[in-house]
Amino acid sequence: MRKIIASLDIGNHTIKLVVGEIVRGKLNILACVDVPSRGIKKGFIVNPESAMEALDEAFKKGEEQIGLPIKKVIVSVPSNGMECFLSEGYTSINNESGIVTSNDIIRSMQAAVYNKVMDNRELVTILPTKFLINDSIVTSTPLSMEAEKLNVKAVVVTVPKKNVTPIVKVLEKFGIEVVDVTVGSLGDYYEFRDSKKDTEVGAVINIGASKTTVSIFNKGIITSSEVIDMGGDNIDYDLGYVYKINRKNAINIKEVIALADKNLAQANESVIVEDKNGDKIKINQYSASEIVMSRLEEILNLAKKQINLLTKKQISYIIVTGGVTETTEFKNILDYIFKDATVGEVKEIGARHNKYATAVGLIKYYDSRLRLRNRDFSIFSLDEQEELSGIHKKVNISEDSILGKLFGYFFDN
């Protein structure tokens, strides 16, 4: 069954909205937009009215691309203060057939978190590490197996309520239903995951506009995460301070002429811009690259230090993504710091920029949750699907819906 899912990544610099359709396990992008953020600081909503204006712009652009109103989304929330803990729960299989159903899986996962999440925290995901049939048979896919009892062992991920409530309230006022919330690091991992990474311990680093998030994954399960309050904006500020130019010109220099590796820069390559006094100044590629490289080295070294603080286990892979990784020659400086790290590049047609990594990956993450529970989902009703098929030639889209949290966003009531 085909599924259409929309995801929203609210960043400090831009708001990203992506709509994708899962067909035969592959993600096809139907709409992909980004608009300048307003009322947002480090991923938190600080001015609801301004945030609603930016969201309105994002959804209107998305609706123009897809031809239908987008009223349901999954949303990434800030991972600041994120905590993970191991838990387990079980349920008895009481149906006449003695076969594990999707409802049995849900009940076992509910039991694993019942009365275990503090009042000041919000559950954002529960990630099963394994299921046990009758306390003896270990499996990752218990659906349709014969059983009298189903146990689950899982990692439970929570964040402070302040990370979630303001975002959900603003979207609800805007008429958008939040069907799931989770941390952006899960989206990053699912965008670049493969069967090998699902058996290893690794790190995922996302360098965004205002912050850098470092997360550790053990066999595909997030175990820890930390936020560094430094990102692409710091590069813009550095360029603006040194050359006494406004932010728009600083961003243009960073994206057009500067390199992440000053050793590859040319002193005779230059641009002329206007400083804050209205004077014309010439900025050469080498000096601009030197500033960019210095800040990137600082960010990457801090991320490297954070990895060592978050885990003592041997790291098998390091993936670095986020909009800043689009800086020309970024791979070079990454190799200087990490030697064996890779740049995670978004490959989906229609979203080929690393600033979309989180939003695209969140769709894949949500699809994996649906498959675990053997559920179908679409953000569009059957009537809307018929209208959409006339535009995009898509058919057979389910109108079933699911909630994305325990007793509210993750599990069905």
DSSP secondary structure string for all residues of 164-226: THHHHHHHHHTT-EEEEEEEHHHHHHHHH--TTGGGSEEEEEEE-SS-EEEEEEETTEEEEEE
Q: Full-prediction pTM beyond 0.75?
A: yes
Mean pLDDT on 286-304 = 98
Rounded CA gap, 32 and 27, in Å? 13
Treating both helix axes as pointing N-terminal to C-terminal, what angle do 165-173 and 48-66 enclose, rounded to 10 degrees? 60
* Mean per-residue pLDDT of the chain: 91
In this predicted structure, what is the pLDDT of residue 227? 96
| pLDDT tens, position by position, 156-193 | 999 999 999 999 999 999 899 999 999 999 999 999 99
In this predicted structure, what is the pLDDT of residue 107? 95
The letter for the amino acid at 404 is G
Domain segments of the chain: what residues?
A: 83-159, 243-290
Residue with tokens 């609800």: 172
Evaluate if residue 395 carries a pLDDT over 60.
Answer: no
| pLDDT tens, position by position, 237-260 | 999 999 999 999 999 999 999 999
pLDDT bin (cut points 50, 70, 90) of residue 389 is low
Residue with tokens 């809307």: 384
Mean pLDDT on 116-122 = 94
DSSP secondary structure string for all residues of 345-358: ---STT--SGGGHH
CATH tag, 83-159: 3.30.1490.110
Evaluate if residue 305 carries a pLDDT over 90.
Answer: yes
| pLDDT tens, position by position, 327-348 | 999 999 999 999 889 999 999 9
Mean pLDDT on 402-406 = 38
In this predicted structure, what is the pLDDT of residue 390? 64
Residue with tokens 């993450």: 365
DSSP secondary structure string for all residues of 99-144: B--HHHHHHHHHHHHTTTS-TTEEEEEEEEEEEEETTTEEES--TT
Question: Are 101 and 239 in contact, with CB atoms under 8 Å apart?
Answer: no
Rounded CA gap, 122 and 355, in Å? 26
Evaluate if residue 401 carries a pLDDT over 80.
Answer: no
In this predicted structure, what is the pLDDT of residue 182? 95
